[in-house]
Structure 1
Amino acid sequence: MTAFTTTTSARAETGAWVRRFHPAPDAPHRLVCFPHAGGSASHFLPFARLLAPGVDVLAIQYPGRQDRRHEPCVDSVQGLADALVPELRGWFDRPVSFFGHSMGASVAYEVARRFEQRGQGLHRLFVSGRRAPSTVRDERVYLLDDDGLIEDVVRLSGTDARVLADPAILRMALPSIRADYRAAETYRPAPGPPLSCPLTALTGDDDPRVTLDEAAAWADHSTGPFGLEVFPGGHFYLDGQTPAVLSTVEARLR
């Protein structure tokens, strides 16, 4: 018998938006992971594998990529958050935390705001590789031509090199990458109170997209305890620091 009552809220059928690569039905914590711009749920396979069985990891699959490539992309953070609330509200049968990287951090933050307004606060919010919503940069990479967009993706090392080397795959991936860049670069949070959950910001020490001050500014977005964790690496420090990041996540969840 599991430690939690089995209900429709802890369903095996995850739907189009949610992936559960390594189900951990007895885990005391659930972690929902939100990918970066151009990313997919599979980016969090290592999280699911390494955190199970102590943490039940869900990963979000945005439309317009992989098995959802024929669906229209959503090109705003607010639109993604609005669509995700009904997909995730059934998973709050135990303490839930969010982990978002880059654009995914903004999406996670907006989804967290919506759940807190419903009276369902998070156990903790992890925001990675993303400046705080109160720090704004005038970025318009999404308006560049295909070559310019690809150049930025390569510079950040945010997409599998095999995708960039295969013209057919690249043609399929570019619309979702552009939509995600638009979502990230045009995101401006609506006025509202800060969150009340604990918040941990994680960043690379050589990230061209996020300064340490911009990461530290996340402290203003929750009245709960705040921590800043800095790792060696650039915007995708996460790929080279997975064990250290997961050690931090596990410690904060406890």
Structure 2
Amino acid sequence: MSELRQVEVESASSAAPLPTGHRGVLTCQRPQTNPAIRLLCFAHSGGNPRMFQPWIDQLAPAVELWWVTLPGRGPRWREPHATRWEPLVADITEAVVAHVPRPLALFGHSLGALLAFDVALRLTEADLPPEHLFVSARAHPRRQFALELPADDTDLLRLVDEVYRGVPEAILNSPELAEHFAPTLRADLMLGADYRYRGARTLSVPITALGGVDDPMTPTEELAAWQDCTTATARWRQFPGGHFYLDESEAGVLRTIRRGLAAPMGKE
């Protein structure tokens, strides 16, 4: 068995085992005993959802951490990458409804913030709204960030690094690593370009918008604009760093998450 505990393996905190169509979509590596809430996390374009693994110890035991794996990576590496928005979000939502116990909150970084937002909308439409939505390193969803993607993988990686400052040097300097990483990154960028904002759809749960002070993609006015996406309270906060500020501001981010999650439980 993999060191990762996929939700098709039954546990005290999970629902029914995942059917074939949902295998690998959701991971709860360390189920908690009677957690107060679950936090479902979505990574950025090209990102590995295991980036959230260090959060497990820091949020447990009150918060049980889950993450979403997109097609084409991790336990889903045999599946073709997703480039169409609607079918992917529908599939993720279906898996969440079937297998993640309530109460539930969502956290997403960059592309993951859009995915978390749209999944939150679909859960709300199914009368299963999350308790809180955390959106990180993403402007208001009406802002479309569609890069003109070069055909050459090396050029693609350098373009993304120029815009977001987040492609590791090891990948930029290694043709072998670039060949492995670029298809996933390209597919995720195409996926983001396929997203369409529907302004009439609004949440009724609190939103916390987070960003880096040096990230030109998320100025304060864009973080504050997330208030338009909910009828509940929306807050925003910036941390030291750029688009990938989570690396250097993890402690502050986790404090903000804990406070946000405590509110619906009457502990703020």
Q: CA deviation at 1:78?
A: 2.6
- Relative to 1, partners in 2 of residues 1:191 and 1:141: Cα closer, same or farther, differing over 3 Å? same
The aligned counterpart of 2:156 is 149
- Relative to 1, partners in 2 of residues 1:12 and 1:243: Cα closer, same or farther, differing over 3 Å? farther
- Is 1:9–2:9 an aligned residue pair? no
Within 2, Cα distance between the matches of 1:177 and 1:70? Answer: 16
The aligned counterpart of 2:179 is 171
Unaligned 5+ residue runs, structure 1?
A: none
The aligned counterpart of 1:158 is 166
Q: CA deviation at 1:53?
A: 1.4
Contact 1:134 1:217 in 2 (8 A): no
What letter matches 1:9 in structure 2?
A: A
Q: CA deviation at 1:199?
A: 0.6
Contact 2:154 2:178 in 1 (8 A): no
Aligned residues: 249
Contact 1:39 1:159 in 2 (8 A): no
Tell me the TM-score normalised to structure 1 length.
0.89
The aligned counterpart of 2:131 is 123
Contact 1:142 1:179 in 2 (8 A): no
Q: CA deviation at 1:27?
A: 1.0
Contact 2:28 2:65 in 1 (8 A): yes
The aligned counterpart of 1:19 is 27
Q: How well do the aligned residues superpose, as a CA RMSD in angstroms?
A: 2.3
Moved segments of 4+, more than 6 Å: none
Deviations 1:56-89 (A, max 9, x none): 0001111112342321011133332111012111
The aligned counterpart of 2:266 is none
Q: CA deviation at 1:34?
A: 0.4
Give the one of 245, 248, 252 matched to 1:237: 245
The aligned counterpart of 2:71 is 63
Contact 2:39 2:64 in 1 (8 A): yes
Deviations 1:143-186 (A, max 9, x none): 45322211133332434444444432321221110011112234
- Relative to 1, partners in 2 of residues 1:76 and 1:131: Cα closer, same or farther, differing over 3 Å? farther
- Relative to 1, partners in 2 of residues 1:69 and 1:45: Cα closer, same or farther, differing over 3 Å? same
The aligned counterpart of 2:50 is 42
- Is 1:52–2:57 an aligned residue pair? no
Contact 1:73 1:176 in 2 (8 A): yes
Give the one of 95, 100, 104 matched to 1:96: 104
Q: CA deviation at 1:98?
A: 0.1
